[in-house]
Amino acid sequence: MPAGGQLAFELPFRPALGRDDLMVGDGNADAVAWLDRWPDWPGPALCLYGPPGCGKTHLAQVWRRRSGAGLVSMGELEARGPDAVAAAGNLVVDPVAAPFDERPLLHLYNLVAERGRHLLLTAAAPPKHWAIGLPDLRSRLLAAPAVGVGSPDDRLLAGQMAKLFRDRQMPVDADVIPYLLARMERSFEAARRAVIDLDTAALSGRRRVTVPLARQVLEKS
């Protein structure tokens, strides 16, 4: 280890995922409105769709906190079976990605509907673009509202990075976030990775998060 440095570890921390911590912009306003409308949905299911890093999982986590919903992946649904999964009541399936076994999802949808519960699905594309062979599943999913989540704008990304820095209790110079925004990919995942990398670099060098440190981190990425 270099003299004057310290080992940096990816320490666990508790991210803020409540409704009050959610930044709302043009890209996610419609999705937030639908989640706030719950439980007054027109049917048992809702699909959030959009590109990687747009914030679908964060939105799903916010809804989970409000609704008490369980969380499963398609792999877990297929492995555990819909009867066991449906015991959670309200449910998030994150993500739905092809190819997948359609019968467990159909069975789960039916169980959720019969019990008066709700199902939130996340995916890269709306159900109308899914290659679904079972007519019953296709008709149910096409009848469910599908709301798109767009890539975040600068204001939303800035707010997200400020939140991530606060979650990690990291002091940051005021010009760091504008500097990063001008040079990084436009996604929540890129923002998350930039904050993690800066946190690691700041800890290892016992440095404050400044533009020179951000420049070094970006040059290494």
Short-list 216, 184, 181, CA closest to 200:
216
Structural domains of the chain, with CATH:
26-148 (3.40.50.300), 154-220 (1.10.8)
What SS3 class is residue 46? Answer: strand
pLDDT tens, residue by residue, 67-80: 999 999 999 999 99
CA dihedral 155, 28, 60, 141 (to 10 degrees): -160
9: pLDDT strictly greater than 60: no
The predicted-structure confidence for 80-121, as pLDDT tens digits, reads as follows: 999 999 999 999 999 999 899 999 999 999 999 999 999 999
Cα 120–chain centre separation: 13
Given a contact cutoff of 8 angstroms between Cβ atoms, the answer to whether 72 and 93 are in contact is yes
pLDDT tens-place string over residues 173-192: 999 999 999 999 988 889 99
Question: What are the DSSP calls for 121-149, one per residue?
Answer: EEESS-GGGS----HHHHHHHHHS-EEE-
Q: What is the pTM of this model?
A: 0.80
Please give the Cα distance from 39 to 25 (Å, whole number): 23
62 token code pair:
């916010």
Residue 49's DSSP bridge partners are 123, 148
Mean local confidence (pLDDT), 50-70: 93
* pLDDT value of position 25: 87
